Amino acid sequence: MLPEKEDRLPVALEQRDVSVDQRMFSPSVSRNSAPILAALKRVLPTHGAVLEIASGTGEHAVCFAGAMPNLTWQPSDPDADARASTSSWIKFAGLKNVLAPQNIDVCSGLWGVEQTGRFDAIVSINMIHIAPWAASLGLFAGAGRLLRAGGLLVLYGPFMRDGAHNAPSNAAFDAALRERNASWGVRDIADLQQVGAAAGLNLRETIEMPANNMLLVFSRGSA
């Protein structure tokens, strides 16, 4: 049984409600949307295209796109139910700057969005700790391919620093994740920096967030 860290769990592991129009409601979104949005407003460009990896229910996509109307938001998720929820949320919100969700497997050599051109930012919330390490490698490799020069890869979730957790609750959460699936676990910032460097991405900023989470901002080359 995983500890109650719902703000760090993906759609597949959260208890959630589903409306008759396929919109799913994540308990964590109401808790973490505001602080994540505040951080994104500061670090993201005011105009451009943003690709979201592992969009989950789609609530974050419509929240962030609605608050930043000059950004075109491209949600994605490998889960069909999540994509259906995101599509329904887009219709419900009536937003014109959110595109139809794409089926992206970050471990794939091609993501299916290469034809759209370079992205100004790629955002991934609560994904890499609940996926195999190969997903982190694929995420950074894809960001290296698809981000424009100076583009940003933004990661949100729990992270370790040099092998140490920043709170006992994170250590317990990490242990529970690894017990559930040995390939999962809270990732170390130092390891991510190494992977990022290999893809041409440098850690630009580490932002402390509520509930012992962090927002990591990587930049492709010079801004």
CATH number for the domain that contains residue 126: 3.40.50.150
Handedness of CA 50, 104, 143, 180 (dihedral sign): positive
Dig out the tokens for 110 from the structure.
């091609």
Residue 1 lies in a domain: no
pLDDT value for 15: 45
pLDDT tens per residue, range 105-134: 999 989 999 998 899 999 999 999 999 999
Residue 78 lies in a domain: yes
Q: Count structural domains, the chain.
A: 1
Residue 182 lies in a domain: yes
Cβ atoms 150, 79 nearer than 8 A = no
Q: What angle do CA 57, 101, 25 make, to 5 degrees?
A: 10
DSSP state of 163: T
Residue labelled with tokens 């927002």:
215
Print the domain residue range for 179: 6-220
Residue 119 lies in a domain: yes
Residue 54 lies in a domain: yes
pLDDT tens per residue, range 18-72: 555 788 988 888 789 999 999 999 999 999 999 999 999 999 999 999 999 999 9
Which parts of 136-180 are beta strand (E)?
147-157, 159-160
Residue 114 lies in a domain: yes
Dig out the tokens for 194 from the structure.
């190494």
Dig out the tokens for 105 from the structure.
């497997």
